[in-house]
Structure 1
Amino acid sequence: MRAAVTTRYGLPDVVEVREVPTPTPADNEVLVRVRASSVCFGDRIFRSGPLLMRLLSGFRPRHPILGVDLAGTVETVGPGVTRFAPGDAVYGARGDKFAAHAEFACVAEDGFIARKPATMTFEEAGTVFVGAACSLYFLRRANVKPGERVLVHGASGSLGVFAVQLAKHFGAHVTAVCSSANVHLVRSLGADDVIDYTAQDFTDGGPVHDVIVDVLGKAGFPRSLRALKPGGRYLLVGFSGGLGGIARALVTGGFVHLRGRARFVNGAAHPKQADLVFLQEIGGTGTARDHYAELADSVWTQYAYARNAVATPGHHGNALLSRFPIVRHENEDISAHAFESRGMLHCVLKPGPRMPELHCLNV
C-alpha cells in the first residue's frame, strides 16, 4: 500500500509517499480502507519535531506514518471481530498510534470506531476524533450547564468549531473569539457573540464567563482570568508555545487552582467509544457539523501540499489534499494587519493529460 511517510523531523517536504507493507489485522482488529483522514496541529508537531517533542519521542520520529482520524470501508476483519463485516462504512481514529495517512489502517473493534452515519460523507466523518471527540471530552470535564456563558478562544480551528457547537448543544451562551476573516464561519456555527481579536480584547467585558476554552493556549494564562468568573473553569486544550511557555502556564494554573480562583483543566484527551455514539446521534440530526478537510479517495501524490496549508499560522483547521499531480505551488502572505499571520496556498494541479490545469487556492 501507499502511505505518507516521515523518517526525519523537518519542514513539510520531509514527508514522502512510499510503498509500505499493508498491515494485517490482529484477532480483534478491523482493517479499514481509508477514504478520508485529516491533517491536524498534532500531525504538524510530530512532523516538525520541536525540542520538547524530540526529548519525549527521540531524535527520529516515533511514528513514521502520521494521521489520527479516519473514515472508510472495512476491507477485512480479524477472526475475533463480531461487530463489523467487510464492506461496512466506518469512521473513528487510531488515537496515539497514528498511521491513518495510508491506504489501509487497523483499528481495534473495541477501540474508537463505529459505523458511519448515512447523513455524513467520508470527508466529514474523517475529522471527528481530533475535532469533535477532544472538544467533547474537555467540555464534559467542565460540566457545562444550560445557561452558563462559555468563551471559545480559537473558535475557527479544527477543535474550536466543534467546541462552539457542542457548548450550544449543552445549552450554553457561547462567545467565540477568532480573526476577522472567520467571523462569518463561527456565526454560522451558532455562536451567540463573536469577538474579532484583531479589533477587540476579549477580556474587556470583565469576568463574565463561567468557562473558557483556550485552544492551544493562544488566549494566554493567567491573562484569561480577567474574563473568567471567580471559581470558573479554564480549559487549556493543547499547547502551541515553547517549553518555557508551557511550564509557566502549568505552574501558574496549578497555583490558581489550589487557591480556588479557578478550576484549571488540561492534559491529554481520553475519549471513549461511547462518545463516538453520542456524536453520531447529534451529528445525524444536524446539531453538529464540522469545518472539514477533504482527502482524495486514493492517497495523494504530493503530500507537501497539505502540509504547507496546515503549517500556515491562522489556518481554519485541516487542509485540502489532492490526488492529482501538483505542477507548482507557492505560498503568499495575505495578512491583513500586523496582528495576523495568514498565508494563501496557490496550487496548480494537472487532473489528466487532456484536462486543463486546475488552480486551487487554500486560505
Structure 2
Amino acid sequence: MTTIPKTMKAWIAIRAGPPQDILQLKPDWPTPAPPTAGEITIKISYAALNPGDAKTMLSRISCRSNSIRGMDFVGEVVQVGPLASTFTASSNVRLGMIVAGTVPTMHLLRGVGVLAQYMLLPADAVVEKPEGLEERVAAGLLGVVGQTNVVMLRASNVKKGDRVLVNGASGGVGCISVLVLSGMGMHVTGVCSGRNEALVRRLGAEEYLKPDGRYIAIEAGPFGIFKLNNWLPVILGGTPRTIKNIFSPPDRASAQEVVKWFENGLIKEIPIDSTFEMDGVLQVNSSK
C-alpha cells in the first residue's frame, strides 16, 4: 500500500455561507485515515465545480463546520482497503487506476469533498476514466453534468426523431444534452445567450431560440403553475404534457453510462470554461 503524507493542502469551509466568505486554504490539514474494507484513497488531480457546490455551502444542514467541499473529481487510486478482491470485485478498482465520479451524498454531508489533495471514498462510487478522455475533462463529464443527463434521458423517454428543446443549452448540463440528443438522432432546439449560439449549433442543435423572446415558462414551485397544469384536464386549461421534477443521488451506474456515450462517439467536443490551480478556488467562485 502506498504511503501518503500525514498532512495535505485542502480548502476548508469553516461554516455555512457564500464560498468567498467561508473557504480557507489550509496547507497542513490531516490526510484521510487509511482505507478500510471496500474503500480507496484517491489522490485528486482535478476537481470540477458547479453551481450545486456553492448552494450546498449556503445551508447549515449540508455544510458542516470545518468540512471539505466539492463533488466532482478525477484522480489516481493510491491506496486500496483490505479485502479489496471481495469488496471491489464489481468495480475492479486497482492501485494506479485513474478514476472519476461524484462524492456520494452521505459522504458529502459528513464533510468529505474534492477540494483537497487526497480523499477517501467507497470503491464502488467511482468509474475508471476511459482511454482518450483528458483528466481535466473527465472531472466534470463523469460527475454531476454527465450523470444528470443520464437521469433526464431515462425519465423523458425520448427517442430518435423526436423534437427536443434544451433550455440553457450552453451550460454544463446543456452542452452534453445537445451532444447526446443530437447524436442519438433527435432534432434539438437550443436556448442560450446569443454569444453562445455558434457553440450550441456546433454541438448539434439544429435550431436556436433567443432567451429574451416571449414568455417560455414560470419558475416551478410545489403548488405553482406547473403543478396546476399537470392536475387540470386539457379542456380546463391543462397541458397534454407531463412536467417531471427529477432528482437522483450520485450513481456509479449513471457514470458508467456516460463512459459508454464517450466511447461510442456521442460526446466528441466538451467545452471547458476555465482551469485554475488549486490555490485559485476563490477566483473560480468569484468569476461565476
TM-score higher than 0.5 here?
Answer: yes
Paired residue for 1:183? Answer: 197
Question: Residue 163 of structure 2 contacts residue 188 of structure 2 at CA under 8 Å; is this kept in 1?
Answer: yes
Partner of 2:41: 31
Q: Residue 166 of structure 2 contacts residue 191 of structure 2 at CA under 8 Å; is this kept in 1?
A: yes
**Whole-Å separation in 1 of the counterparts to 2:171 and 2:180:** 14
**1:236-275 equivalences in 2 (<5 Å):** 246-249=221-224, 252-259=225-232, 261=239, 262-270=241-249, 272-275=251-254
Q: In the superposition, relative to structure 1, how do residues 265 and 63 fare at CA in structure 2: closer, same or farther (>3 Å)?
A: farther
State yes or no: 1:303 paired with 2:276. Answer: no
2:271 to 274, 279, 291: 291
Q: Does 1:86 align with 2:95?
A: yes
Q: Does 1:14 align with 2:22?
A: yes
- Structure 1 residues 123, 202: CA separation in 2 closer, same or farther (over 3 Å shift)? farther
Aligned residue for 1:305, secondary structure, equals: helix
2:11 to 4, 9, 34: 4
**Following TM superposition, by how much is the alpha carbon of 1:286 offset from its aligned partner in structure 2, in angstroms?**
3.4
Shift of 1:285: 3.9
CA distance in 2 between partners of 1:146 and 1:105 (Å): 41
Aligned to 2:121: 107
Which of 259, 267, 270 is equivalent to 1:280? 259
| Bigger shift: residues 153-162 or 62-71 | 62-71
Aligned residues: 259
Q: Aligned-pair distance for 1:75?
A: 0.8
SS in 1 for 2:172: coil
Is the partner of 1:126 in helix, strand or coil?
Answer: helix
For residues 11 and 68 of structure 1, what CA distance do their matches in structure 2 show? Answer: 14
1:10 CA displacement? 2.8
How far apart, in 2, do the equivalents of 1:139 and 1:253 lie?
A: 20
Over the aligned positions, Cα root-mean-square deviation in angstroms equals: 2.3
In structure 1, distance between residues paired with 2:285 and 2:80: 32
Identical-pair percentage: 25
Following TM superposition, by how much is the alpha carbon of 1:284 offset from its aligned partner in structure 2, in angstroms? 2.5
After TM superposition, give the deviation of residue 291 of structure 1 in Å: 2.3
Separation in 2, partners of 1:149, 1:100: 37
Q: Which runs of 5+ in 2 are unaligned?
A: 1-7, 86-91, 234-238
- Residues 269, 145 of structure 1: CA spacing in aligned structure 2 closer, same or farther, 3 A cutoff? same
1:271–1:13 Cα change, 3 Å: closer
1:353 matched to which residue of 2? Answer: none
Contact persistence 1:17–1:301 (CA under 8 A): yes
Q: Is residue 130 of structure 2 the alignment partner of residue 117 of structure 1?
A: yes
- SS of equivalent to 1:23: coil
Aligned with 1:120: secondary structure?
coil
Moved over 4 A (4+): 293-296
Paired position in structure 2 for 1:141: 155
Name the CA distance, whole Å, in 1 between partners of 2:49 and 2:244: 25
TM-score by length of 1: 0.65
Q: Which runs of 5+ in 1 are unaligned?
A: 204-218, 222-244, 311-363
Checking the alignment, whether the CA contact within 8 Å between 1:5 and 1:15 is kept in structure 2 is yes
Show the counterpart of 2:218.
Answer: 220
1:238 is matched with none
CA contact (8 A) 1:91 1:114 kept: yes
Corresponding residue for residue 5 of structure 2: none
Equivalent positions of 1:65-84 (< 5 A) are 65-82=68-85, 83-84=92-93
Q: How far off its partner does 1:248 sit?
A: 4.6
Alignment-derived partner of residue 52 in structure 2: 42
Query: Aligned AA for 1:123?
Result: R
Q: Secondary structure at the match of 2:279?
A: coil
More helix by share: 2
More displaced stretch, 156-165 vs 286-295: 286-295
- Cα deviation for residue 63 of structure 1 reads 7.8
| Separation (CA, whole Å) in 1 of partners of 2:218 and 2:270 | 26
CA distance in 2, matches of 1:202, 1:164: 22
Distance 2:186 2:215 in 1: 18
The match for 1:127 is 140
More strand per residue: 1
Could you give the per-residue CA deviations for residues 211-263 of structure 1, whole angstroms, max 9, x where no partner exists?
Answer: xxxxxxxx535xxxxxxxxxxxxxxxxxxxxxxx64454xx333322336331
